[in-house]
Amino acid sequence: MAGDLELVPGPLPAVDDDPGRRLAAAWLLGYASPATRRAYAADMTAWLGFCDIAGTGPLAARRVHVDAWARAMQSAGAAPRTVARRLAAVSSWYQYLARDEDRYRILSVT
């Protein structure tokens, strides 16, 4: 499977010892379009980076973290469409996780 994760284009590295990044890379493999995988990889990289800065792992993050990230992006001058796309990508990732495990609960952040 590690070889499969290398198919993910973009800035999201497939790190074997980071479950959040591994799960994000696995989720990205479900998208046939390299352009979609690249855009969502960038969105997930931004989310995972925010989680690092906020001191929480993406698997422990809650709605308050997503809201704080959205406000941080807006304060940094991100376009509304960019914020919406990133939130949609992260929401889709958590929906993907919820199909496998009931404990990932951030399902609708847009």
User: Following DSSP, what letter does each residue of 52-80 receive, concatenated?
Assistant: HHHT--TTT--HHHHHHHHHHHHHTT--H
Separation of alpha carbons 41 and 15, rounded Å: 13
What is the pTM for the complete model shown? 0.78
Question: Contact 13/42 with Cβ under 8 angstroms?
Answer: no
Separation of alpha carbons 21 and 13, rounded Å: 7
Any idea which residue has 């989680």 for tokens? 51
Confidence of residue 100 (pLDDT cuts 50, 70, 90): confident
Any idea which residue has 């198919």 for tokens? 7
Cβ neighbours around 19 below 10 Å, total: 12
Write out pLDDT tens, residues 34-73. 999 999 999 999 999 999 999 999 999 999 999 999 999 9
Q: According to the model, what pLDDT value does residue 11 have?
A: 55
